[in-house]
Amino acid sequence: MNVNGIANGSEIKIHAKVNGHNLVIMTEAIFGVSAGLLIKPIEYFGRYMQFLEPSEVQIRNKRDGRVYKFYSTTISPVKTRYGNYHLIRTEAELEPENSRKSERFFIEKLGLFSINNNDSSLKNCIIHDISLRGISIIVDNESAIKPGDKININFRYGPSLHNYEVKTVVVRNFTVHNKPAAGCSIENMNVDLISLINDKRKEKNPELDKIPATNLNPEISEKEQIREVEEDIAKQLVPEKTKAEEKTITNESPFAPENLEHISSNDKTLRQKKKDQKNSMQARAIENLLNLKDL
């Protein structure tokens, strides 16, 4: 799919860099045009931003609900008859993210865990994130956790502080901000955990039906709006000649020498140059004869 196939009202997240600083920008799609994707304007303190270097763009397409990631070539402001917007250009084909990949949601809550069913020795941990396939926790430096260990995790979360009990198996060890952490697969994915993940997903991504579409001109169809915007963008890509730049041809023949831009008075043929040189020599000879007559 091309970038101009993104539906009106789709959520857009742009990861860009400005002077070496990472920047995350949220906006929405208007509609696709032949030159790229028209989006709501990106302003910073009242000025339109412009990204001339590749930026990572993530779009949640309202048409199919899938997430697309790609790199833009440029993101720059464009002027249309309906106002100023931004245009995302890219040469890449859009491919949806792997649907088998589980989306992770941050929890960052204090919990308790035990190792290999030793419930008499409970230790503190921080629930880092959770997905449909696993959960990760941050532990202290004294907790020796290794892949294969069975970890029972308990934590409370939500407005009602619902208690969640999760049985897991350690899959890998890693660090979070220089603190030891463990990634675990969940053995007992129950209704409580599924409801928690669905609630976190709704917090992160509003329902597609609730995202309003942008109608630039309710009096005409979206197809006609796209045509008008494409005309406005085309004028900026190929500026029209001003009256001062236009050349008026008065001669009936457009191929007359005086109407050809590549021929000027300074560009003379060799024959013409020799003729001019001969005329100049004759003029000097006549001038010398006149000087002798005066004597």
What are the boundaries of each domain within the chain?
105-204
What six digits make up the tokens of 97?
A: 């993210």
Q: How many Å apart are CA 7 and CA 28, to the nearest integer?
A: 10
Q: What is the pLDDT of residue 266?
A: 52
CA-to-CA separations, 129 to 35, 108, 132, 171, in angstroms, rounded: 40, 7, 11, 15
Query: How does pLDDT run along the chain (295 residues), one tens digit per residue?
Result: 788 788 888 989 999 887 778 889 999 999 999 889 999 999 888 889 999 889 999 998 887 778 889 999 999 999 999 999 999 999 888 887 765 566 788 999 999 999 998 877 899 999 999 998 899 999 998 888 999 999 999 999 988 899 999 999 999 999 998 899 999 999 988 888 989 988 887 777 666 666 677 889 989 998 999 999 999 988 886 544 444 444 443 444 444 445 444 444 455 566 777 777 877 777 777 666 655 545 4
11-18 and 21-33: which strand pairing? antiparallel
- For the chain, state the CA radius of gyration: 36
Q: How many Å apart are CA 50 and CA 269, to the nearest integer?
A: 51
Which distant-in-sequence residues (6+ apart) come within 8 Å of 57 by Cβ?
A: 12, 13, 14, 15, 69, 70, 71, 72, 88, 90
Q: How many Å apart are CA 295 and CA 286, to the nearest integer?
A: 15
First to last CA, the chain: 94
Alpha carbon 53 to chain centroid distance?
10
Which distant-in-sequence residues (6+ apart) come within 8 Å of 125 by Cβ?
A: 110, 111, 112, 113, 137, 138, 139, 143, 153
CATH architecture designation of domain 105-204: Beta Barrel (2.40)
The structure's pTM equals: 0.53
SS3 sequence of 122-190: CEEEEEEEECCCEEEEECCCCCCCCCCCEEEEEEEECCCCEEEEEEEEEEEEEEECCEEEEEEEECCCC
Q: What is the pLDDT of residue 39?
A: 94
